[in-house]
Structure 1
Amino acid sequence: MSKPRKGILIILSFFAIYVIWGSTYLMNKIVVTEVAPFLLAAIRFLSAGTLIMVIAKILKFSLKITKAQFINCVIAGFLFLFYGNGIFVWALKYVDSGFAALIVATQPLFVIILMRILQGKKIQSKSLMGVGLGLVGMYLLISQDTLVLSEESSIGIAVIFSCVLGISFASIFVSRANLPSHFFVTTGYQMLTAGTLLLIGSLVLDETWTSPLEWSGKAQLAMILLIVFGSIVAFTAFNFLLKEVSTEKVATSAYVNPVIALLLGWYVLNETISVQSLIAGAVLLTGVYFINSKKKIVIFSRFKKN
């Protein structure tokens, strides 16, 4: 792939994980009012995974996968989609959503620390500055709502932190793992395996199953958008970026997504955006700039396989 073409794909992929993933907050909010969380995720990922494989076959991408590659896809799918999505939603029963969002904002910090521990990557001061600004911005954004914690909040907080840690580890793992040659096919295998696990989880939890034909038109449209854009487009872009740029750059989506969600809430649901929200957004994006800066920051160099 030529450098100009790859550069365009990288830009479009960042747009996908920043803007499209930011919109999934709104889409999930619409669907989850009518569909159980594990069933929602299972339908979303199984549908997206199947479509990806069909498209890959039409485009004549090789679907061959070795045993080692399949195991790696299962690990990534479990950490990213089953645990990072399904278990996280379950944990929200015990933790205020605003506080949970603040915890998720620690992901870039987890990534940088794990890279230091697992790979010996040097932590640059500019990287830490960017992470610090991101956390400040998230605090300004979330602190506008009163955080109400239940008696079982300690369990929920521990689970959410484990979800963020799992996603952070998975991001580093995928960037170096032996996976199918094409990132599109990798995405398909991850979604199919995670979707199967989520379906089993839904059965174990005895969730109420409803047919998509019984959902409202709004929920059906939201699910279609989640499958096509939130899953196929954005998650494929995510896997592509993990192979092309540094992991902590990809993790900056944890800062930008809430800003996008806030803007969509204002535009679609007529929610009010305060001055503090605007300031928080500016601080968050400044943090992203520092983390994404290319000025002689060793930690931001592209991973290379040994």
Structure 2
Amino acid sequence: MSNSSNPLLVILAFFSIYFIWGSTYLLNKIAVTELPPFMLASTRFITAGLLIFLICKILKISLAITRRQLLNTIIAGFLFLAFGNGIVVWALKYVDSGFAALEISAQPLVVLIMMRAFQGKKILPMSMVGVFLGVIGIYLLVSQNQVTNQENSWLGIGMIFLCLLSWSYGSLFIGKANLPTNHFVNTGYQMFTGGIILLLGSLAFGESWSWPTTWSDPTRYSMLLLILFGSIVAFTAFNYLLKVVSPEKVATSTYVNPIIALFLGWYFLNEQITMQSVVAAAVLLTGVYFINTKKKLVMFSRFSPRFGKKLNQ
């Protein structure tokens, strides 16, 4: 697969990161109630990576990569999977799945700030409005009594924010890094290496491992869906999009992920959706819209077209 974009592939890839990833919060929440978090994530990613390698062998896709590409896949595997996902799974022990998805919806805001800090990209006025709304939305989200009164909730909130930073920096890193040209191979190496890092973390923390035969049916089904769809399908789509569209566009998955996660958490796990969470979601997602919109600031361009044009250059 080349780095040129195919419109149909782009649409299918966006569907994957929008809807499939929105459901992974529920699946991880179900599994982490029974399994240790790092063991859960490690099993998911190592299995997915090995399956991808097997598929590549069957399809006669070369797995050969350079040392630089291997190093970069290890870095990406750590940023996205070992830390960026593994810690989120751990934090789900202390916060609701819908809440976690809402907090992570601030990713476009963080990506924008990082692009300004590390790449010198200019922040447009509309994006500044989005940053302001994003900050307000995050405050509304984390200041709820229903959240802050839960045991270790602040620890979970803080760790998810660190994961948010890791994912955001990883999005910028992978867009420029020398990685395997085949997106499926790229995903396989990231999955496998990220899973190995999580395995080492699990052993370091002394987690208890168990065989799938001892798991409950909901946990087994959740793990199967996480491996096949959440890992292999959606993460391959994610890597593909980061090479063919801009990082801030890829981050727009946070428009849809929280809505899917909130609904599924409410429907299957009876997670509470407070009015403040609804308001926070509306403010956050409006901020994400402003960050990604290419429209001009109407309040300026209406009175002075030249001034409005200058602001949005």
TM-score past 0.5 threshold: yes
SS of the aligned residue for 1:145 comes to helix
Give the fraction of aligned pairs with identical amino acids, expressed as a percent.
59
Residues 105 and 134 in structure 1, CA contact (< 8 A), matched pair in contact too = no
The residue type paired with residue 199 of structure 2 is L
| Separation in 2, partners of 1:140, 1:18 | 24
Residues 85-104 of structure 1: per-residue CA shift (max 9 Å, x gap)? 223444567x7558766653
Q: Given the superposition, is the C-alpha separation of residues 157 and 284 from structure 1 closer, same or farther in structure 2, using an over 3 Å criterion?
A: closer
The residue type paired with residue 204 of structure 1 is A
Structure 1, unmatched stretches of 5+, are 298-306
SS of the aligned residue for 1:253 comes to helix
| Separation in 2, partners of 1:269, 1:90 | 18
- Tell me what 1:165 maps to: 165
- Tell me what 1:40 maps to: 40
Q: How many residues align?
A: 298
Residues 133-155 of structure 1: per-residue CA shift (max 9 Å, x gap)? 455556656648342376895x6
Q: Given the superposition, is the C-alpha separation of residues 150 and 2 from structure 1 closer, same or farther in structure 2, using an over 3 Å criterion?
A: closer
- Tell me what 1:182 maps to: 182
TM (normalized to structure 2)? 0.82
- Tell me what 2:63 maps to: 63
| Separation in 1, partners of 2:138, 2:255 | 7
| Separation in 2, partners of 1:71, 1:5 | 26
Q: Given the superposition, is the C-alpha separation of residues 139 and 56 from structure 1 closer, same or farther in structure 2, using an over 3 Å criterion?
A: farther
- Tell me what 2:52 maps to: 52
Structure 2, unmatched stretches of 5+, are 297-308
TM (normalized to structure 1)? 0.83
Tell me whether 1:145 sits opposite 2:146 in the alignment. yes
- Tell me what 1:262 maps to: 262
Tell me whether 1:244 sits opposite 2:244 in the alignment. yes
Deviating more after overlay: 27-36 vs 247-256: 247-256
- Tell me what 1:302 maps to: none
| Separation in 1, partners of 2:118, 2:76 | 17
Residues 53-90 of structure 1: per-residue CA shift (max 9 Å, x gap)? 11222223221100000000000001111111223444
Residues 265 and 271 in structure 1, CA contact (< 8 A), matched pair in contact too = yes
Shift of 1:171: 0.6
Residues 99 and 147 in structure 1, CA contact (< 8 A), matched pair in contact too = no
Q: Given the superposition, is the C-alpha separation of residues 286 and 203 from structure 1 closer, same or farther in structure 2, using an over 3 Å criterion?
A: same
- 1:121-136 equivalences under 5 Å are 121-134=121-134, 136=136
- Tell me what 1:226 maps to: 226
- Tell me what 1:303 maps to: none
| Separation in 1, partners of 2:161, 2:5 | 37
The residue type paired with residue 34 of structure 1 is E
Shift of 1:52: 1.1
Q: Return the index of the structure with the highest Cα Rg.
A: 2
Residues 92 and 100 in structure 2, CA contact (< 8 A), matched pair in contact too = yes
Deviating more after overlay: 47-56 vs 70-79: 47-56
Shift of 1:200: 1.2
The residue type paired with residue 148 of structure 2 is L
| Separation in 1, partners of 2:279, 2:160 | 26
Deviating more after overlay: 64-73 vs 27-36: 27-36
Tell me whether 1:117 sits opposite 2:117 in the alignment. yes
